[in-house]
Copies of this chain bind each other. A is one copy, B any other.
Amino acid sequence: MFEPSIRRGEKCGVAKPVSPRGLARTRVLDCAVALFAECGVHGTSLKMIAQRLGVSKAAVYYQFSSKEEIATEVLRPILEDVTRVIKIAEALPDWEARRAVACSGLVEMAIRHRQLAAVFVGDPAMPLIAPMELRAVTGELRKLLEGPEPDAQHRIAVAVFFAGMGNAVADPLLADIDDAELHGVLLDLSNRIVRPTTDGD
């Protein structure tokens, strides 16, 4: 259930300052990710996190001052990744190039945060735990995928791909499929669903 990870009596590479809270914080975060993915944010209590970790609730509260802080920290890596993708995409000259970058970036991100992707794209608690930043970048990303002045068909396609991919990577029924294969198939799907804005269609 809980493994001291690496720190046993030995150095495991460089020095590693033993990180007074770093380790415990990481353990809490990892546990929270798993529970958020399984039960949703609203369906996960501090008690559940503490119990699965084999510690008391107070021990968790020592690391984080609130449930919201845990959720924020859990989502932070994904937020940073999306922000980076948007930055890169927006620097490009034309819409089609932006779309391509946003598309592949989104797929890569979904694979990297496989457990969390479903929380990011669809958890009902998202508007509450991510007041502005995350909602903003989500909107930006979708705009990049849609391109300028998208018609209904395009907007729907983007919505389907966005939510569909986020849920698919975390789908327990697809847990046996490894990251590499999933990545390839999703990229292919993204091209089938979210087309370039050239209306040769």
Contact = CB atoms under 8 A, between A and B. Distances in A.
Contact of A182 (B42, B156, B161, B186): B156
Interface string A127-165: 000000000000000100000000011011101111111
A78 interface: no
Contacts of A23: none
A152 B156 CA distance: 25
**A: contact size bracket:** 35 or more
Main secondary structure of the interface of A (DSSP, over half): helix
A174 to B, nearest CB: 6
B159 A174 contact: yes
Interface stretch (A65-73, A82-90, A117-125): A117-125
A162 B118 CA distance: 13
Contacts of A38: 124
A189 B39 CA distance: 30
A136 B25 CA distance: 38
A186 B156 contact: yes
Interface of A: 38-40, 42-43, 118, 121-125, 142, 152-153, 155-157, 159-168, 171, 173-174, 177, 181-182, 185-186, 188-189, 192-193
14 contacts: A40-B40, A40-B42, A40-B125, A42-B43, A43-B124, A157-B189, A159-B167, A160-B160, A160-B161, A160-B165, A160-B186, A163-B168, A164-B167, A167-B167
